[in-house]
Amino acid sequence: MTAFDWDGRVVRYPADRARRYRESGEWSDLPISARLHESALRQGDRPALITAEGVLTYRELDERTDRIAAGLRSLGLRRLDPVLFQSTNRTAIVLAWYGCLKAGLVPVATLAQHRMHEIGHISRKVGAAAHLVEAGLGFDLVAFARQVAEGHPTLRTVLTVGAAEGTHRIEDLGAGIDPARARAFVESVEAETDPQDVAVFQLSGGTTGVPKVIPRIHAEYWNNALLYAQALGWDAGTRLAHLIPVIHNAGISCALHAAHSVGATLVLANPDHVAAFALMAEHGVTDVLIGHGHYQALRSAEFDAVLPTVRRTVLSGAKVPPDVFRRVDDGETRWAGQMFGMSEGMFLASRAGDPEALRTTTVGTPIAPSDEVRILEPGTETEVPDGAVGELCCRGPYTIPGYFDAPEHNAIAFTSDGFYRTGDLAAVHVVDGRRHVSIEGRIKDLINRGGEKVNAEEVEVLLMKHPDVAIASVVAMPDARLGEKACAFLVSATGQTLTMPEVQRHLDGLGVAKFKWPERLVWVPELPKTNVGKIDKKRLRAEAAAPLAAGPTPRGAGA
């Protein structure tokens, strides 16, 4: 069967590479739903998922998601219909994820913080047919989903985690369907699925405008997670903790699919580290993935309760402070390493045999045998020598060959022979014949706020929509907890300088996700320029990083 090509908007892997990845075993001929079922058959009554709401065994997870899949189809949703996901880390969101995959639907991994600016664009781009939201949050996502659906050309169904009037509650879907009939339905969907069908739409951090859409296919997406789990030595005895959003590539590939691909138990918490660490301690986690937004939390007394059972900690998102590394690596029973990954595919990770010097200074080595890494002079296709800094570029069995419906961007985001330009500065360090990669900065003008990438240019354009803002330049400023926050340098168009609440109301009115809002404003008469007349962002970053001068906070400044 030929893979559905979304009217030519999905870039396919070249035939020779696809053949090579199949022959190597790095690609699978089975859909993701079949891979989960295989794990469930092997693991039976072993715990698959633990949340604050309770425990699900592999058998329960498999059977409940079969029924949800059949229930989703009974609503009139069709194979390959995209479904927007907006929820926190709940048991039901995991049920919904696998239920959608088993129904042949395509989850679209948006964030609970996204608003109309992002959701309005993405939902139309992919032709979303359903919108899954969590009820009962501070921001009324149910009302928001109904607002998105007004006048929408394809969106016709609102699904909820938790109860909400007039919607379809995920927890109830398929409850009355016979398990054998539900299993037969899922198997019929799997028989229709081509390995190169789109399984999931992930989102990029974005380099201009709203996030780019990243198509991940059945052939590679589960195996991406499996290779990651194997690289870290996980198995059925692993109890893995995850506390950043699960409906995100890191959450799916490094936690949900990774754990279930090897029969491990996923302990899924929410970002509040006090509650998360208590849940982790209660259930004796052995492994944990910590993004740099939680580095500070590792220093807390609450983490003491987790330390007795943790044996491996994977750190990601920023350079690791020495004291944080020592907190989770005692050289004996506890081991720490780093990883680097992206929704576009490439993962690198430290390995058990790597010496401490490499685990503290590099993000490790690629996880798949067919992964290819090149370090190029930025803007060229010329490789730099090992040890020199250049742009990290990659190609491999799970690195996408192109963004969805973005031919102009693809022309500059990939080299002529298909290597993805990550926009990250990196260097290769060869030790005992193995190529370890260190991350040395970014070419792309992104702000890494607790793992969420904020595009500076996008926020600048939005700020300048206000009549009082003539010019805006947004840069990263250091933050002890999140790694980076956004600082906006502004030039007034009218002589009026807006306060932080006024700027926040402006962005809220445009439907912009809160994590993109600047957290400090600096009003200046003019922006500094380089010798060639460009805004001197290097100088602005230095000014943003400098301690605030003593004295009253200027009008319009905020932290």
The predicted-structure confidence for 245-273, as pLDDT tens digits, reads as follows 999 999 999 999 999 999 999 999 998 99
**Rounded Cα gap, residues 75 and 70, in angstroms:** 9
Alpha-carbon separation of residue 37 from 61, 97, 186, 237, 502 (angstroms): 9, 14, 10, 19, 52
User: What is the band of 456 on the pLDDT scale with cuts at 50, 70, 90?
Assistant: confident
Under a CB-based contact definition with an 8 Å cutoff, are residues 32 and 199 in contact?
A: yes
Sorting pLDDT into bands at 50, 70 and 90, what band is 532? low
CATH superfamily of 446-545: ANL, C-terminal domain (3.30.300.30)
pLDDT the model gives residue 2: 57
Alpha helices in 256-314 (DSSP H): 257-261, 273-282, 295-298
The architecture (CATH level 2) of 58-193 comes to: 3-Layer(aba) Sandwich (3.40)
Q: 514 is written with which tokens? A: 């809160």
Q: What's residue 559's pLDDT?
A: 36
CA distances from 111 to 118, 122, 141, 446, 548 (A): 10, 12, 11, 18, 33
- pLDDT given for residue 551 in this prediction: 36
Q: Which residues pair with 437 in a beta bridge?
A: 428
Beta strand pairing status for 469-479 and 483-492?
antiparallel
Report yes or no: 267 and 285 within 8 Å, Cβ to Cβ: yes
* Tokens read off for 402: 């192109």
Buried/exposed code over 230-248 (b: 16+ C-beta within 10 A; e: otherwise):
ebbebeeebbbbbbbbbbb
> Fold match between 58-193 and 446-545?
no
Identify the residue with better confidence: 210 or 489. Answer: 489
Mean pLDDT of 471-484: 91
Averaged pLDDT for residues 280-306: 94
Provide the residue ranges of all domains of the chain, joining segments of one domain with +: 58-193, 446-545
